[in-house]
Amino acid sequence: MLVYNSIVYTIREIGENIKDCDDFKGDVLFDFPMHKRTTMRVGGNASLIIEPADEKSLAYVLKLLSTEKLGFFVLGGGSNLVVSDDGVDIPVVSLRRLKSDIVLTEREDGDLLLKCSSGTSWGEILNFCTENNISGLLEFAGLPGTVGGAVFMNAGCFGNSISKVLKKAEYMTENGDKGTYEMNDADWAYKKSPFQDKKWIATSVFLRVSKSNDDVKNIALSYIEQRKAKGHFKKPCAGSVFRNPEGVSAGLLIDECGLKGFSIGGAKIAPWHANIIINEDNATQKDIKSLVDYIKTVVKQKKNVLLEPEIIFW
């Protein structure tokens, strides 16, 4: 781990202090394998993972790490992340335990809002929606990861996107200070959100929804079936690898270059979907990064289009 012995020791001390502090509720994990926290199932050990169970604990952790001048990484559901094979030597702040009850509120302007914490999974949100005949978010059925991660990436599914349904979000800065973001369309674009540039950490999200007389459960299931048909659940993966260039599908470009099924090491372009890379056989981050670079090179040569990765290498 390079010359990190003293740093790892300091990080462990900080982790132990957090674990023993009365102001913290949650889990503190040491030398934890990151492949267990990502859908690609790749990555070495993290020296320290901190999983706050409430906003007070999150604020405490952020203020402490800021005071100690320690960089850190915020982890949602790990659904678009490929972690280094060498592991992670900075603290990882995981939001997977940042959950509270999902609630519906009706505003004076008539909007029906669904409020949930950023660590809430889409499975939990869709279960709530189908049990309460709520529409507006059904296109997200089957989406891996958390709602906080989806806000950060402005996730989009079947014509819907976070930027179309978000009303507001409560957040914390890297210093643990609280704020509220009110939706402004000018701040958003395809796969872009203001949370990326400002490094805000969404804590609670308010999404516009509506009551429905339709069979919302079957509608949600139909979207899950479409994901299954595309092979999203066949093998460990991180979803779509590349952003779609304007006016064209990245998957179509890759397919037209004859790359479906091509592999490097344990990483393989899915035979059933050209914009998905699967962990076919104990893939490493190096395998996946090499395959991504190869795809970019071939598509640039044959189609004169430079593809931009959507997945995050860390």
Model pLDDT for residues 59-70, shown as the tens digit of each residue: 999 999 998 888
Relative to beta strand 81-82, strand 312-313 is: parallel
Give me the amino acid identity at 195. F
Alpha-carbon torsion angle 130, 131, 132, 135, nearest 10: 0
- Residue 232, pLDDT score: 83
Enter the pTM of the model. Answer: 0.91
- Residue 274, pLDDT score: 97
Contacts 24+ apart (CB under 8 A), 70-75: 70/11, 70/14, 73/314, 74/201, 75/37, 75/49
Helix, strand or coil for residue 248?
coil
Residues forming beta bridges with residue 20, ordered by sequence position: none
Structure tokens that stand for 244 in this block:
């779609």
Q: Which residues of the chain have pLDDT under 70?
A: 1-9, 108, 110
- Residue 10, pLDDT score: 80
- Residue 90, pLDDT score: 94
- For this structure, is 310 an active site residue? yes
List the catalytic residue out of 225, 240, 246, 263.
Answer: 240
Provide CB contacts within 8 A for 184, sequence distance 6+.
194
Task: Give the tens place of pLDDT for each residue, 105-158.
Answer: 887 676 799 999 999 999 999 999 999 999 999 999 999 999 999 999 999 999
List the catalytic residue out of 68, 124, 174, 310.
Answer: 310
- Residue 108, pLDDT score: 64
